[in-house]
A and B are shown apart, each in its own frame.
Chain A
Amino acid sequence: MTALSTTTDKVNPLTAGQLPAYVTWAALAGALIVGGLLDTTLLSGFDPGTTAFAAAVIYLPVIYLLSRAVEGRRRAADRLATNLVAGAFLLALLPLISLLWETLSTGLPRFDAKFFSWSMRNVIGAGGGAIHALYGTLIVTGIATLISVPIGLMTAIYLVEYGRGALARGITFFVDVMTGIPSIVAGLFAYALMAIVFGPGTINGLAGSLALSVLMIPIVVRATEELLRIVPNELREASYALGVPKWRTIISVVLPTSISGIVSGVILAIARIIGETAPLMIAAGFTNSINTNPFANPMMTLPVYVYDQYAHPGVQREFYTERAWAGALTLIVLVMVLNLIGRFIAQRFAPKTGR
């Protein structure tokens, strides 16, 4: 497909002449220079962002008109589309680069041993760390995983192996609905549940886990269901033919075939929820000290820690801001590592059969 589509760029001797390749680059360079000049003279001094923007505004119509004059309307439109599509990609890189740069440059100074060994207890101003938040995140996410994986996995098995009729359709529909629950609503649900069962204002790690489970279950169901469906029926039939009961077939044939995908799906689901802030802020609360008991008292988590450092700084703001960015860096690294592990497992241990 790509091989074919590239041929359209080649010179076609039957149609009108084509713009030589250097024209494109010359136009781009020219646009950059003019944009830079405009930026420095007319606007508020040189700035890479504005220059790039001005250059794009100049380059696009120039290359379009040039191409239209030499190559005709259709080729010009094609060129414009190519430029716009490539521009869209570059445009999306801007926030990514800016964000990563800011996180690294501001977060790295405090991304040190103390950050991973100190809590914020009795810390005012400089120093301090996020160990209490790391423990909280591990515990809260761990419990959420323990709740979500069995329910999610069994639901997927039900949908693929057993479900039919109104109940299965209903569950499929409501899993979709659940996917769309805003995270803050999940937090409010956990808060309301705790308030009704244990009395008003009950805030603890378990509540946070419940909130995260509401978000995680549908992700697990979706990921697992898809994988179970691609397990070839020949495998099931072979198992049945040997007289193996259905439940044993599922456990020892269907699940092992798709296990790598399921594990990777679960890890990706963890990566999706580990950065959730709003539900944990509401359900698990804030604290400056380590709390390893999920059943009592607020528990700090990493995303909430980042928000807390940003929103409640003391007198010396710079230390709090640094810690916030260090926490942000930790979170991004954590999510990226989880993503990489998930993808690695999915690729490395992909089933030999199936797709």
Chain B
Amino acid sequence: MKISSIGAPVALFAAAALTLSACAANETANPGTGASGTAAASTLAGKGASSMSAAQQKWIADYQAAHSGVTINYSPDGSGAGREAFISGAVQYAGSDRPFKDEELGKDKFGECTAESNALNLPIYVSPIAVIFNVDGVEELKLDPDTLAGIFAGTITKWNDPKIAATNDGVTLPDASITAVHRSDDSGTTNNFTDYLNQAAPKVWTEAASDTFPTAFGGEAAKGTSAVVDAVTTGKNTIGYADASAAKDLGHAQLKVGEQWLSPTAEAAAKIVDDSEVLPGRAEHDLALKLNRVSKDAYPAVLVSYALVCEIYKDANDAALVKGFIGYAASAEGQKAAAEAAGSAPLSSTMSAKVAAAIDSIK
């Protein structure tokens, strides 16, 4: 062999990478492909909550199909990363599982907005959080707030605990330990779930709502929605919480609201958005909600995700794209598409109209 063959494997790789013109059967060779090139005016960058990543993908696919030449990139890096990127101006919109707090808002605080512009919080994604379980011989489960809080706080440790049995007549509960699975990472799902427990069972659930599951309560931690669902599915006598759409094959517990038992359905989840009040003291079109988790007929454990956008964009092109894209996402059509692809709860027509009005005001 000759010395030149040192380069053989190298050349092989280089040749493979260079000579094959990169293409995929489902990708057109337009310049925006795969790259969030900032130069192209028809490119929109978003970042944020992973909870609505499936919905965003669907919206993006639909919107890109309808508007050729437009490329939208949404990186599901998490709400916090999304908010930070929006503040720094790295992205034109962000997805977040909570609205900006009062102290985070203000004029001239956001990179892509003009100096006199504030940010808007628009609810575009509503998803019920299901309490999922996988227990030998149990098909249906009813849990009142105190019991549910007790299970996740580690004070109820056996499935045949009298407190669980009290609300589940006729169900044979096994004499087995409960494994309560929660999210190990920061997440809006945890925030909304713990907010519900704190509002509905304040005596048992003494910790305030937070993105991180309180470590003092123990339980088993899993990274991300999928790992929670996985752990509950493959485990035995497990319980957990996750977006209802991500866990269709598992049993969903019914939660007690007032005297009612409610399942995590889309209608019951959308109801809470209508029954909640908009946070006071904000910009005219801001729709940040104070969720009311004890409303009649409304499933209480619900995740509401917001699109964070500018009132006035520095770049008119950006404004037009955001209006078009977020407008589609919030429309009845877009909400229906998300419901099919991601299993979210479509916004009611009243809320959808409010969001549409807010989007119209964007400049």
A300 to chain B, nearest CB (A): 9
A224 to chain B, nearest CB (A): 10
Tally inter-chain residue pairs, CB-CB below 8 A.
129
Beta-carbon contact of B64 and A310 below 8 Å: no
Residues of chain B from 292 to 325 with CB closer than 8 A to chain A in the complex: none
Beta-carbon contact of B26 and A119 below 8 Å: yes
Beta-carbon contact of A256 and B26 below 8 Å: no
Query: Chain B, 1-19, contact with A by CB distance < 8 Å: what is the 0/1 string?
Result: 1110110111001101100
Q: Which of B192-200, B222-230, B280-288 contacts A (4 or more CB under 8 A)?
A: B222-230
Write out the residue numbers on chain B whose beta carbons fall within 8 Å of the beta carbon of A330: none
Beta-carbon contact of B24 and A149 below 8 Å: no
Beta-carbon contact of A317 and B24 below 8 Å: no
> Contact check: which of A121, A153, A256, A313 meets B34 at CB < 8 Å?
A121
B157 on the A face (CB < 8 A): no
Q: Contacts A139-B17, A267-B9, A291-B35 hold; do A124 and B57 have CB atoms under 8 A apart?
A: yes
Write out the residue numbers on chain A whose beta carbons fall within 8 Å of the beta carbon of B13: 138, 141-142, 145
> Contact check: which of B16, B61, B224 meets A138 at CB < 8 Å?
B16
B244 to chain A, nearest CB (A): 10
> Contact check: which of A119, A251, A252 meets B27 at CB < 8 Å?
A119
- In the assembled complex, the Cα of A293 lies from the Cα of B64 at a distance in Å of 22
Which residue of the partner chain A has the closest CB to B22? A292
Beta-carbon contact of A349 and B1 below 8 Å: yes
B114 on the A face (CB < 8 A): no
Which residue of the partner chain A has the closest CB to B247? A317
A39 to chain B, nearest CB (A): 19
A352 to chain B, nearest CB (A): 12
Q: Which of A10-18, A127-135, A180-188, A226-234 contacts B (4 or more CB under 8 A)?
A: A127-135
- In the assembled complex, the Cα of A292 lies from the Cα of B34 at a distance in Å of 9
Query: Chain B, 194-215, contact with A by CB distance < 8 Å: what is the 0/1 string?
Result: 0000000000000000000000
B25 on the A face (CB < 8 A): yes
Q: Contacts A124-B54, A310-B226 hold; do A266 and B35 have CB atoms under 8 A apart?
A: no
A173 to chain B, nearest CB (A): 27
A4 to chain B, nearest CB (A): 40
Q: Which of A58-66, A84-92, A93-101, A257-265 contacts B (4 or more CB under 8 A)?
A: A257-265
Beta-carbon contact of B34 and A291 below 8 Å: yes
Beta-carbon contact of A315 and B1 below 8 Å: no
> Contact check: which of A255, A256, A267, A293 meets B35 at CB < 8 Å?
A293
A297 on the B face (CB < 8 A): yes
B94 on the A face (CB < 8 A): no
Write out the residue numbers on chain B whose beta carbons fall within 8 Å of the beta carbon of A317: 226, 229, 246
- In the assembled complex, the Cα of A260 lies from the Cα of B1 at a distance in Å of 7
Which residue of the partner chain B has the closest CB to A203? B75
- In the assembled complex, the Cα of A201 lies from the Cα of B246 at a distance in Å of 30
A355 on the B face (CB < 8 A): no
Beta-carbon contact of A259 and B3 below 8 Å: yes
- In the assembled complex, the Cα of A259 lies from the Cα of B1 at a distance in Å of 7
Query: Chain B, 43-68, contact with A by CB distance < 8 Å: what is the 0/1 string?
Result: 00000001001100110110011000
Beta-carbon contact of A270 and B22 below 8 Å: no
Known: A122-B57, A289-B27. 11 other contacts (CB 8 A): A114-B25, A122-B61, A129-B24, A132-B34, A255-B3, A256-B1, A267-B9, A290-B23, A290-B33, A290-B34, A292-B22
14 A-B pairs (CB sep. < 8 Å): A122-B57, A129-B25, A132-B24, A142-B13, A142-B16, A146-B10, A153-B6, A255-B3, A256-B2, A262-B6, A290-B22, A297-B35, A311-B223, A312-B53
Residues of B participating in the A interface, judged by any CB pair closer than 8 Å: 1-3, 5-6, 8-10, 13-14, 16-17, 22-27, 33-36, 50, 53-54, 57-58, 60-61, 64-65, 75-76, 90, 223-224, 226-227, 229, 245-246, 248, 341-343
Residues of A participating in the B interface, judged by any CB pair closer than 8 Å: 114, 117-119, 121-125, 128-129, 131-132, 135, 138-139, 141-142, 145-146, 149, 153, 201, 251-252, 255-256, 259-260, 262-263, 266-267, 270, 286-293, 296-297, 310-315, 317, 349
Closest 6 CB pairs of A and B: A289-B34, A142-B13, A119-B24, A122-B61, A292-B22, A291-B34
